[in-house]
Structure formats: structure tokens, C-alpha cells
Structure 1
Amino acid sequence: MVDVVRKEYDAEATNYDTNLSATLPLIRLDNELFISAIGDATGAVILDLAGGSGVKARFAINAGAAAVDIIDISPGMMREGQNIEATLNRDVMRWFEADISQPLDHLPLKPQYDIVMANWPFDHVENMDVLEGMFRNIEKYLKPGGRFLGARTCNPRVPEMIKGSLGAKYANFEDIPGGVRYRFSLDSFESDIVASSMEATYSGSTEIYEKFGLVDIQVEPYENAKVVKEHPKLWEAYLQEPGMAMVKATKKI
């Protein structure tokens, strides 16, 4: 599955940040929940697992982070991010190509980080071994007392995600051991992308987080997103059965 995901994200990489329209309601929700969840990140050194073109990394820098190391499987996505950073004339991000479900010892990473982010990679896993491999890296590189932030899907089959009325759509569901495979698309993308999620995360269970040393596990309140405050009627049905969650937690000391 890694090769398929790499190929499909590489295909979307050109002008990815432009195509990932911030005007789409679900993109606004995702971004604004992240900004709310990270809060003040002054001086933080961050590891961004599956950071792509650095969308969340740039929000983190805006929140005060000192530096971000980004790991992703798509060289095309990272190249777009590097181009954006070059136009900003700054050098606060490092970029590494790797599969975040595998050991990362071959990379010149820091021993531990103040914050580890993993936004959406849990929805590109084909089995529990892959998912646990990602969590092992979160546990290894997050310092005791450090913060974890990560967006994940809720049940992919919730009505609003099937309808696609908020700018993103899930379709072509196939049950797999422990989870579900599907395709997702955004209104601004040229094509859809393969995804698969394990019930261990999309169910809302905190067991796997706790297994890998995370505590105080919370979902960022949806009402903290400006787009929800501004358009409450638009979100009524979605908030009854949300399609995504921004999870935040702390590594136990």
C-alpha cells in the first residue's frame, strides 16, 4: 500500500497547497482545529510524521515553534513544501523521505522532540502491524511530558462523509481485517486517493494511544474551530456523527 499512496500523493503534489483549498469547510475545520490544539508552541522542536508539504508544520512555526523535522513517503509532496519554504526565505524545516511505520534509526533525527505530530497517516494503514509501527515511532521520539497532535478519521461510513457535502467524500468501501479500505476525494483534487483505517483508531478508543505511553488523550472540541462558530447550521448533522477528530495527548513521565 505504501507504493500506491506514494504514487497517488506524488500525482497531487504539484500546487498541492493551492489545490488543498482552505475554503472547503472540512479543510478549514482540520486546519482550525489543529491551530486551536497546538496553542502556544514557542520554542518547540517538532517531529512531523507524514508531514507532506508542510501545511501543519507552517501552522506550528506560526505558533512559535523553533524548528520542524518532516518525514513523508512522497518526494513530490516534500519538494513542493521545500519550494514554499524557499519563497519564504527561511530554513526552519528539514525533510526526510521514509516510511513512518518502519524504524527511523537511519535518519539524522534528534533523540526526542517537544511535540510529535501525525496528521492523517493512521488512515493509510493496511493492518495493525503498520499502525503500531507508527505509534512506536511516536513513543520513541516524543520526550516525556511532550505533546502529541494528530488528525484522524472517525468512522469512514458516517453519512456526511459519504455525501461529500462539506468538500470531502469517502466511497468504495471494502471491509478488511480490523478495519475498512476506501477511497477519499476532495473537491479541489484531480483524483481520489486510497485510504484504509483501523477500528483501533476510528472507533475513538484510546487503548492504542495508552499502549504506547500517551495519557490525557482528548479530542479538540469542534466548537473551537472558527468555521463551526461562523456556520453552526452547516455543521449540525456532521457534529452528530463527525468524520474527523483532532487528537491531542501527552507522553507520560
Structure 2
Amino acid sequence: MAVVEQVKKLTSQGTTMAVVEQVKKEYDNCAVNYNDYSSLPFGQLESQLIKIALGDCAGLTVLDLGGGTGRYALEAIDLGAAIVDVVDISPGMLKIGHEIEKSLSRENTIRYFEADVSKPLSHLPLHENGYDVVMANWIFSHADSMEVLEGMFRNVVGYLKPGGRFVGVRDSNPTSPAILNAKYGAMYKWVKKIPGGVKFLVMLSCTPPIEFEGAALEIIYSGSTEMHERFGLTDVEVVPYESTEVVQKDPEFWKLFLERPNLAVVKASKKME
């Protein structure tokens, strides 16, 4: 039996979708301090990996699913993107993004929309002809069932132009020692098994600390490309950690992480029609 079918069978036996209002509440509560994550070791590594994955964005249109305050939307603009549309479930996070754009005296360079990225987004004024790049950073860490995960992939691929680039951060190894202590600025305070995957409580070492619950399915954190390929993504690859400046400058510091990485930045392309 294919991994997808195995997980479907398990998740249909009682695991329900994450409660939308709870997710909103958690991210609204941490919205003000969330960008502090970028100063933590994990945040620096993640940012550099995403920048490498995005590459040259000159003149491109970008959709950032689960983009929060627009941290990586701003990165895409710095890399040359013409416009970025951010979709996120947290009004608190989106408000901060709006405020950043306002402070820059820009209009319609980065647009912010509130929605659940696991559900159809046809009610939003997104680009009908699709986007050159679709980002989905950490959204799969809120997929506790195949139904939710499939909804996310439908939006990723549905809004990506043929030949377009996908970039996303995902969980890699939820039992990695690198995430079971706070050496790199983030840790799981607990990890529990759920059908087809795990649920966990994340703590980010911001000031004050940020906590929120997440969930990930094995079909994602195992490194399987089955879901990507099933929805029409090809050339799926993980950006090498050693390609980042932070790892190159201090490989000894990153040794524990590199032995069993707990996060991965993935890039892929949508098949040409």
C-alpha cells in the first residue's frame, strides 16, 4: 500500500483537522515578537537556505502561503520580485505586515490576505494566471491529517505556473537532538504520536519566549517526495545546509544539527503542461 493511502487510513480513524481559531490565537499572541526568530541560529540558517532556494526573482510574481508578517515576502522583493501576495490565517501577523509596508510608503508591492491555506482560496483576488514562485514555509507543520495536507498542496500547485518554482520549509526529524534542546534557539517541549505522524509543542527562544503547537505527518518529515510528485512537482531537492554562510563559518557549532537535521528547505518545479 502506498504511503499516502496508509496515512489516509490512519488519519481517517480519529485524527481531526487543527482547530483554526486556536492556530489564529497562538499566532496572534506571538505576532509582535515573532520576527525576533530571525536573530536566532535556526532563524538565520532558515533565512539563508530560503534565499538560496529563491535565487534570482527579478520581475517575478510570488505567492507566500502562510507568510505571516511577510518576512520572506520582503526577502523575495529584495531579490527582485515584482509583487508578492501573502496569505495567512493570523490577522495579528498580517497587521504587522501591513504596518511594515505602510512604513515603507509602498502600495500593492506586498499584499496581505487572511485565509486558511488548507482551504480553497478562490474568494481572494489572487492572480488568476498563477505565480512564478509559490512559497510554503512551515505550513505543513500544521497538517495533522491527509485532508489538511492535500488542501495545502492543491493551493501550492494550483497557483503555481507551469515551470514555476516551489520553495518551502518543512520538518525533517522530530526526534533530532537538535530540536530537543534550545541550542539553536528553538526546541520541542514535548512530542506525541498521532496517526501517521507527530504533534508537538514548539518553543522559540525569543524575548519573551514564544510557544505554539504544531503537527507533521511522516510522509512530509521523512523526506518522501511522494506528495510533491503526486501533485505535479518535479526536481524536488533539499537545499544543502553547507551552502549557507552560518554553517560555513562555524561547522562545529552546527555539528549536532548536521548529524540529524530537524528542518529542511525544499525547492521544486511544476511540470510543464
For normalisation by structure 1, the TM-score amounts to: 0.97
User: Residue 69 of structure 2 aligns with which residue?
Assistant: 53
User: 2: CA distance between counterparts of 1:23 and 1:132?
Assistant: 32
Could you tell me how far 1:190 is from its partner in structure 2? 3.0
Q: Which moved more, 1:189-198 or 1:65-74?
A: 189-198
User: Residue 193 of structure 2 aligns with which residue?
Assistant: 175
Given candidates 251, 258, 272, the residue that maps to 1:239 is: 258
Letter in 1 for 2:215: S
Could you tell me how far 1:88 is from its partner in structure 2? 1.4
Whether 1:124 aligns to 2:160 is no
User: 2: CA distance between counterparts of 1:157 and 1:88?
Assistant: 41
Could you tell me how far 1:16 is from its partner in structure 2? 3.0
Letter in 2 for 1:217: V
User: 2: CA distance between counterparts of 1:14 and 1:38?
Assistant: 26
User: 1: CA distance between counterparts of 2:230 and 2:132?
Assistant: 20
Could you tell me how far 1:39 is from its partner in structure 2? 1.0
User: Residue 49 of structure 2 aligns with which residue?
Assistant: 33
**Count of residue correspondences:** 251
Per-residue CA distance 1:147-173 (angstroms, 9 max, x = gap): 000001112111110022111101221
Given candidates 123, 126, 131, the residue that maps to 1:109 is: 126
SS at match of 1:227: helix
Structure 1 residues 164 and 190: alpha-carbon distance in aligned structure 2, compared to 1, 3 A threshold: closer
Tell whether the 8 Å contact from 2:97 to 2:112 is kept in structure 1 after alignment.
no
SS at match of 1:223: helix
Per-residue CA distance 1:23-72 (angstroms, 9 max, x = gap): 31111000010111111000010110000000010000000000001100
Q: Counterparts in 2 of 1:1-253, with a 5 A limit?
A: 1=18, 2-17=20-35, 19-20=36-37, 22-91=38-107, 92-111=109-128, 112-188=130-206, 189-253=208-272
User: 1: CA distance between counterparts of 2:265 and 2:150?
Assistant: 19
SS at match of 1:160: helix
Which consecutive unaligned segments of at least 5 residues does structure 1 have? none
Tell whether the 8 Å contact from 2:34 to 2:210 is kept in structure 1 after alignment.
no
User: 1: CA distance between counterparts of 2:22 and 2:209?
Assistant: 16
User: 1: CA distance between counterparts of 2:23 and 2:255?
Assistant: 32
User: 1: CA distance between counterparts of 2:111 and 2:210?
Assistant: 29
CA RMSD in angstroms, aligned pairs only? 1.0
Could you tell me how far 1:174 is from its partner in structure 2? 1.2
User: 1: CA distance between counterparts of 2:195 and 2:252?
Assistant: 37
SS at match of 1:14: helix
Provide the identity percentage.
49
Tell whether the 8 Å contact from 2:87 to 2:117 is kept in structure 1 after alignment.
yes
Letter in 2 for 1:77: M
User: 2: CA distance between counterparts of 1:126 and 1:15?
Assistant: 26
